[in-house]
Amino acid sequence: MAGMGTHQKAGNGEKIWLTPPDLINALGPFDLDPCFSNPRPWATANEHFGPESAGGFGGLFEDWFGLVWCNPPYDQDAGKWLSKCADHGSAIALVFARTETEQFHRQIWERATGLFFFEGRLTFCYPNGSLASANGGAPSVLVCYGEAAFDRVYNAGLRGKMIRLRNA
């Protein structure tokens, strides 16, 4: 399946890119972040699952609950995280806006409630909480699954443009 790309190299070998906390603060609070390992510099939700959860199978294999925040691992499984967000029906996902890919069509264009395209590029954080030395290298999009997610993003006061999709 065509994926949605990775972050540009920031020159320090980091592979984990955290959501900037001001974005979490603008969108939260969330009930669950199913993909955030320990140690973490800040909470993104009231509860978190990491790679060690579900007996080592990870957060994809847990039961999700409430309003979910999902900035998934940037690997070949990104589509599975988006699919679980859609199945769960109440989630905001943060991914790159690779709008032409098969993954984006199957899990986002065909299943999401709405999308928010940022003005400018996000600068993510390293696992120690410090701001990365360069932006993510690609445009990011917030993907809303369900009305609660849509309302959160719509009312967050972020700079960019929101569109509503006509998916059931």
Ligand X SMILES: C[S@@+](CC[C@H](N)C(=O)[O-])C[C@H]1O[C@@H](n2cnc3c(N)ncnc32)[C@H](O)[C@@H]1O
- Single-letter amino acid, residue 21: P
Phi and psi of 11, rounded to 5°? 85, 5
Shortest approach of ligand X to residue 28 CB, angstroms? Answer: 11
Classify 19 as helix, strand or coil: coil
Q: How far apart are CA 165 and CA 163, in angstroms?
A: 7
Shortest approach of ligand X to residue 166 CB, angstroms? Answer: 28
Cα of first residue to Cα of last residue in the chain, in angstroms, is 24
Within 6-65, the residues that bind ligand X by CB under 6 A are 16-19, 33, 35-37, 44, 49-51, 58-60
Shortest approach of ligand X to residue 108 CB, angstroms? Answer: 17
Within 102-121, the residues that bind ligand X by CB under 6 A are none
Classify 81 as helix, strand or coil: helix
Residue with tokens 């949605």: 4
Shortest approach of ligand X to residue 117 CB, angstroms? Answer: 18
Of 28 and 168, CB closest to ligand X: 28
Residues forming contacts to ligand X in the complex (CB under 6 A) are 16-19, 33, 35-37, 44, 49-51, 58-60, 71, 73-74
